[in-house]
Amino acid sequence: MGGDQTLFAEVSQLFIEDCPARLAAIRAAVDDGDAERIRETAHALKGAAGSLSATGLYEATASLERLAAEGQLMAYRHDGFWQCMDTYRDQQQLQQLWASGQAAWKTW
């Protein structure tokens, strides 16, 4: 943006206002199992992220767009229990649920 602080502030504010709607649109497309709509929405969000040099978001949306375009992305609605276990904190939360007898995934 050529060092224009005012322009950067305006574009940033538009992004902050617009981003939640775009993320919600991706979520709705995932819920509907609509890979093409996921691709289209990821593409739009990628462009917005690129204009702000939001590298992490740009790369994530580029991957999402590519996977959907190549037919490698399948989306299925899951209404059951789900919890990621990517971090130590996630593991601790799941262990606490298990220890307290509130493990929703325990079916036996």
Q: Determine phi and psi for 73, rounding to 5 degrees.
A: -110, 120
Q: Which has more confidence, 14 or 81?
A: 14
The mean per-residue pLDDT over the stretch 5-31 comes to 88
Closest CA to 25 of 7, 8, 44, 12: 44
Give the pLDDT confidence score for residue 95 in this predicted structure. Answer: 94
Which parts of the chain fold into alpha helices (H)? 5-32, 35-51, 55-69, 88-99
Domain boundaries, the chain: 5-77, 81-108
| Residues 23-73: tens digit of each pLDDT | 999 989 888 888 899 999 999 999 989 888 889 999 999 999 999 999 887
Mean pLDDT computed over every residue of the chain: 87
Contact status, residue 52 vs residue 12, Cβ threshold 8 Å? yes
Identify the DSSP state of 59.
H
Q: In this model, does residue 74 exceed pLDDT 80?
A: no
Cβ atoms of 26 and 41 closer than 8 Å: yes
Q: Say if residue 78's pLDDT is above 80.
A: no
